[in-house]
Amino acid sequence: MNNENLITEKDVAHVAALARLHLTTKEIADFTTQLRSILEHGRDITALDLAGIPPTSGPIPLENVFREDVAGSCIDKSEVLSQAPGHQEGQFLVPPLLDGSE
């Protein structure tokens, strides 16, 4: 996390696209400043020698937690669809998908 690695406005714009957020030019500038100060504060971690330390992703070590393969009840779709912003013919309705061919 050297200075040249600190987050730039270009990074912020890229990250916003990844996160499906639209930011105004001003928001990009503000977020860049704020994220930079938070990340700079985070330099205290990189100051430590963490070589050889394994990562921890969950606080309590657990493994092999399973569910038996036994069918249970489903939910009435009308209750779910009643909360959906768009539905038609018992399905969720969305604007056209773009991920097709050019």
Partner 1 sequence: MSEEKYEPVIGLEVHCELKTATKLWCACPNEFGGEPNTHICPICLGLPGTLPVLNRNAVEYAMWIGAALNCEIKPSKFHRKNYFYPDMPKDFQISQYDEPINVQGYLDLPTGIRIRIERAHIEEDTGKSSHLGKSGRIHASYGALVDYNRAGVPLVEIVSAPDIRSSEQAKDYVSELRAVLVATGATDGRMEEGSLRVDANVSVRKGPNAPFGTRCEIKNVNSLRSLVRAIEYEIKRQIEILEDGGRIVQQTRHFNEDTLSTVALRSKEEAQDYRYFPEPDLPPVSPLDTWINKVKQELPPLPSQRRAKVKETFGTAEDSQIITLVEQDLDGLFLDVVSRGADCEIALRRLLNEAASQIEAAKKLDAQDFAELIGMEKSGKLSATQCKAVLANMLEGGGSPMQIAASLGFEGMNSNELEEVITQIINDNPDAFERFKAGDEKVSQFFVGQVMKATKGKANGKAVIEFLEAKKS
Partner 2 sequence: MKLSDKPLSAKEIAAGIKNKTFSATEIVRNSLSRIDKLDGDIHAFLAVTGDQALLRAKEIDEMVSKGEDPGILAGVPIGIKDNICTRKVATTCGSKILNEWKPPYDATVIEKLRSQGAIVVGKTNMDEFAMGSSTEHSAFGPTRNPHNINCVPGGSSGGSAASVASGMVPLALGSDTGGSIRQPAAFCGVVGLKPTYGLVSRYGLVAFASSLDQIGPFSRNVEDSVLLSNAIMGHDPLDSTSLDIETPPIKIDIDKGVKGLRIGIISEFLEGISPEISKAIELACKYLEEGGGQIESCSVPSVRQSLSAYYLIAPAEASSNLARFDGVRFGMRVDGKNAEEMMVNTRTAGFGNEVKRRIMLGTYALSAGYYDAYYGSAQKLRTLVIRDFKSAYQKFDVLLSPTTPTTAFEIGAKVDDPLTMYLSDVCTIPTNLAGHPAISVPFGHDSKGLPIGLQVLAPALKDNLTLRVAKYLESAVEKANV
Token pair, residue 91, equals 């399905």
Binding mask 35-64 for partner 1 (x = CB under 8 A): ----------------------xx---xxx
Residues 28, 9: contact at Cβ < 8 Å? yes
Partner from partner 2, partner 1, none contacting 49, C-beta within 5 to 8 A by type: none
22 binds, among partner 1, partner 2, none (CB under 5 to 8 A by kind): partner 2
First to last CA, the chain: 39
29 binding partner 2? (CB under 8 A): no
- Give yes or no for residue 6 binding partner 2 (CB under 8 A): no
The Cα 17–Cα 94 span in angstroms is: 20
Out of 5, 18, 26, 44, the residue judged to bind partner 1 by CB under 8 A: 18
User: To which residue do tokens 């969305």 refer?
Assistant: 94
